């Protein structure tokens, strides 16, 4: 039964990904200089995710629209990224945005909170 539920969840997740890719729209336009500055800032960001998670898809979609090339780290069972997520953030929950700045690391959960933060900081 667990396998069937997992299969259905993944199938629905991939359908959501397909719809996202087909309806995504265009990226935010910036001057090359401004985009390069943002790209440098984002080198200290990473998104922990599951590829078929609808909330992760929602977050990736917002990142795409804002033209934010944040490193994505898949965190399936047994992966090193899952261990990092548990040890650093304290729980295995995705999406999770890891933000490192001024020598401090912040782990931000909840897709809506992540998207709101990114929109305010990089809009």
pLDDT digits (tens, 9 = 90+) for 27-79: 999 999 999 999 999 999 999 999 889 999 999 999 999 999 999 999 999 99
Task: Dihedral sign for Cα 27, 31, 32, 33, please.
Answer: negative
- Determine the pLDDT at residue 36: 96
The string of pLDDT tens digits covering residues 75-107 is 999 999 999 999 999 999 999 999 999 999 999
- Determine the pLDDT at residue 12: 83
CB neighbours of 20 closer than 8 A, spacing ≥ 6?
Answer: 57, 60, 61
Question: In CATH, which superfamily holds the domain spanning 1-122?
Answer: Glutaredoxin (3.40.30.10)
């Amino acid at each position: 039964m667990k396998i069937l539920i997992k299969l259905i969840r993944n199938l629905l997740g991939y359908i959501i990904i397909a719809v996202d890719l087909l309806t995504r729209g265009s990226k935010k336009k910036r001057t090359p200089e401004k985009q390069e500055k943002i790209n440098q800032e984002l080198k200290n960001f990473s998104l922990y995710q599951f590829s078929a998670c609808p909330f992760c898809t929602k977050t990736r979609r917002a990142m795409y629209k804002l033209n934010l090339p944040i490193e994505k780290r898949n965190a399936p069972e047994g992966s090193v990224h899952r261990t990092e997520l548990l040890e650093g953030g304290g729980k295995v929950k995705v999406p999770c945005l890891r933000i490192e700045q001024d020598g401090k690391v912040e782990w931000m959960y909840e897709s809506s909170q992540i998207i709101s933060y990114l929109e305010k900081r990089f809009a």
